[in-house]
């Protein structure tokens, strides 16, 4: 078993670190405070090739693998959970179009999406269909050469900002999850409107919105995959998305750890730096142990995906453990900063707020336990 990164992986890490230092770190606090969606950063991520990782050159991709994507999301999350979330969710529809799309769909959407010209979003969740995807109420009815979509989606990351959405809708309610299908809907389609923009605890620079579909007509060519494959497509998307959230969680925890060590070295009490106090060192040891374990889980599942092996259980394990680690580490980091950790002048309170959502979206911790259990007892 090898634990070394390749030369290409090291190059990706160095490149994204430089990008984060130059482009993201200077604005991370401000975009959180103002809740400004940093479209210019997404476009630059595309310009520098970070949106193109893992996709073939024939669609303007940059090749590469899942480990490289994980590296990118991890490094971004060290400084901005919001921007890491934006890119992680963007990868999800790009992956689905590449995997399930027709050649015409790939040629239409992928080049713009991997260049950062078009932003993607994934719309499954509804007011009564979160963890229970089978309860989706949005419908899609075929009439002549068009599908007509009606329904409401909620809590959609990149909602209101995305240019193209993968939307899950029921084409035959009598078949349950086997009656669900996936569709590609562009933002300017008549009848497709943005409802409430959510005011969130964390990842405040990412846009989370309600989507309203009222007699939205799309050509039948916008069906993604086959009729009735929607639930399968959604589960494939969520498996991959959980790798992204686990990478985000890891990065948030690592960023909080770095800030904490720096602070404890600089801050002195009772005549010596805080880093010299054994009790505080024990906190650091606990934090590092969880971070290190998370790192192994996150890169293990990335490796499994790259190898073409099943990874549903491993994605759930990595997401569960890394997200809980992010909360544990940021909570301790705030405590170790004392009063300063509670102030917005320091990034720890933002990191702690950003960490919380990782235990919720792409499947709550409770749902991850259900997924894990179902995989080990079948």
CA distance 91 to 51: 7
pLDDT value at position 135?
87
192 within some domain: yes
Dihedral, CA of residue 17, residue 3, residue 53 and residue 90, to nearest 10: -80
1 within some domain: no
87 within some domain: yes
- Residues in a beta bridge with 146: 143, 219
What is the number of structural domains in the chain? 3
Other C-beta atoms lying within 10 Å of the C-beta of residue 253: 33
Q: What is the CATH number of the domain that holds 239?
A: 1.20.140.10
Residue 228's pLDDT band (boundaries 50, 70, 90)? very high
Yes or no: say if 257 and 347 are a contact pair by the CB < 8 Å rule. no
Yes or no: say if 365 and 320 are a contact pair by the CB < 8 Å rule. yes
According to DSSP, residue 139 is labeled E
pLDDT value at position 67?
97
Query: Does residue 186 share a domain with residue 111?
Result: no
Query: Does residue 281 share a domain with residue 177?
Result: no
139 within some domain: yes
Query: Does residue 211 share a domain with residue 127?
Result: yes
- Residues in a beta bridge with 121: 165
Q: What is the CATH number of the domain that holds 194?
A: 2.40.110.10
Q: 234-272 pLDDT, tens per residue?
A: 999 999 999 999 999 999 999 999 999 999 999 999 999
166 within some domain: yes
Owner of token pair 């190898």 = 307
CA distance 30 to 45: 19
pLDDT value at position 1?
65
pLDDT value at position 98?
97
Picking from 199, 227, 255, the residue at the C-terminal end of a domain is 227
State the first-to-last Cα distance of the chain, in angstroms, to the nearest integer: 27
Q: 8-62 pLDDT, tens per residue?
A: 999 999 999 999 999 999 999 999 999 999 999 999 999 999 999 999 999 999 9
Q: What is the CATH number of the domain that holds 68?
A: 1.10.540.10
Query: Does residue 372 share a domain with residue 237?
Result: yes
18 within some domain: yes
Query: Does residue 356 share a domain with residue 282?
Result: yes
Residues serving a catalytic function are 362
Query: Does residue 323 share a domain with residue 200?
Result: no
Query: Does residue 269 share a domain with residue 145?
Result: no
Share of the chain above pLDDT 90, in %: 95
pLDDT value at position 133?
79
Picking from 227, 258, 285, the residue at the C-terminal end of a domain is 227
Q: Which of 71, 62, 149 is nearest to 113 (CA)?
A: 62
CA distance to 90, 103, 227, per residue, from 37 (Å): 14, 32, 35
pLDDT value at position 129?
82
Other C-beta atoms lying within 10 Å of the C-beta of residue 262: 11
Burial of 154 (0-12, 13-18, 19+ CB in 10 A): buried
Other C-beta atoms lying within 10 Å of the C-beta of residue 183: 24
Query: Does residue 351 share a domain with residue 267?
Result: yes
Domain with 195, as residue range(s), is: 121-227
Q: 138-183 pLDDT, tens per residue?
A: 999 999 999 999 999 999 999 999 999 999 999 999 998 899 999 9
Query: Does residue 368 share a domain with residue 236?
Result: yes
| Mean pLDDT of the residues in the chain | 96
Q: 269-308 pLDDT, tens per residue?
A: 999 999 999 999 999 999 999 999 999 999 999 999 999 9
| pTM greater than 0.85 (yes/no) | yes
Picking from 101, 119, 137, the residue at the C-terminal end of a domain is 119
Query: Does residue 285 share a domain with residue 180?
Result: no
3-state helix, strand, coil in the chain (%, to 5): 55, 15, 25
pLDDT value at position 130?
77
Query: Which DSSP string do the residues of 211-231 spell out, in sequence order?
Result: EEEEEEEEEGGGEESSTT-HH
Query: Does residue 153 share a domain with residue 96?
Result: no
pLDDT value at position 373?
97
According to DSSP, residue 160 is labeled T
2 within some domain: no
Q: What stretch of H or E contains 180?
A: strand 180-186
Burial of 174 (0-12, 13-18, 19+ CB in 10 A): exposed
- Residues in a beta bridge with 164: 120, 186
Query: Does residue 133 share a domain with residue 103?
Result: no
50 within some domain: yes
Indicate if the pLDDT at residue 131 is higher than 90: no
CA distance 66 to 62: 12
């Amino acid at each position: 078993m090898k634990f070394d990164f390749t030369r290409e992986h090291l190059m990706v890490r160095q490149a994204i670190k430089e990008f984060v230092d130059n482009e993201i770190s200077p604005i991370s606090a401000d975009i959180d405070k103002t809740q400004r969606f940093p479209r210019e950063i997404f476009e630059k991520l595309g310009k520098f090739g970070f949106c193109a990782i893992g996709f073939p050159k024939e669609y303007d991709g940059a090749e590469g693998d899942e480990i490289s994507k994980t590296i990118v999301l991890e490094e971004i999350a060290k400084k901005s959970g919001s921007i890491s979330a934006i890119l992680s969710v963007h990868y999800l529809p790009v992956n689905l179009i590449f995997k399930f799309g027709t050649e015409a769909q790939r040629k239409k959407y992928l080049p713009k999406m991997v260049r950062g010209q078009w932003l993607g979003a994934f719309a499954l969740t509804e007011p009564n269909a979160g963890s229970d995807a089978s309860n989706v109420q949005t419908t899609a009815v075929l009439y002549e050469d068009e599908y007509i979509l009606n329904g409401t989606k909620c809590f959609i990351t990149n909602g209101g900002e995305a240019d193209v959405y993968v939307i899950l809708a029921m084409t035959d309610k009598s078949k349950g999850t086997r009656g669900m299908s996936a569709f590609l809907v562009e933002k300017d389609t008549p009848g497709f409107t943005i409802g409430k923009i959510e005011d969130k605890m964390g990842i405040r620079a990412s846009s989370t919105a309600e989507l309203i579909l009222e007699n939205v007509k799309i050509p039948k060519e916008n069906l993604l995959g086959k009729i009735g494959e929607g639930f399968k497509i959604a589960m494939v998307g969520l498996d991959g998305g959980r790798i992204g959230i686990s990478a985000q969680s890891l990065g948030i925890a690592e960023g909080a750890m770095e800030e904490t060590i720096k602070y404890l070295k600089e801050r002195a009490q009772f005549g010596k730096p805080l880093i010299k106090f054994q009790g505080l060192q024990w906190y650091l040891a606990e934090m590092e142990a969880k971070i290190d374990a998370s790192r192994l889980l996150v890169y293990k599942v990335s490796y499994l995906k790259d190898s073409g092996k099943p990874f549903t259980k491993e994605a759930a394990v990595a997401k569960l453990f890394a997200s809980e680690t992010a909360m544990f580490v940021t909570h301790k980091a705030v405590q170790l900063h004392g009063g300063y950790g509670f102030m917005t002048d320091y990034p720890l309170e933002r990191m702690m707020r950003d960490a919380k959502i990782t235990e919720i979206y792409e499947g709550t911790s409770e749902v991850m336990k259900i997924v894990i259990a179902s995989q080990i007892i079948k």
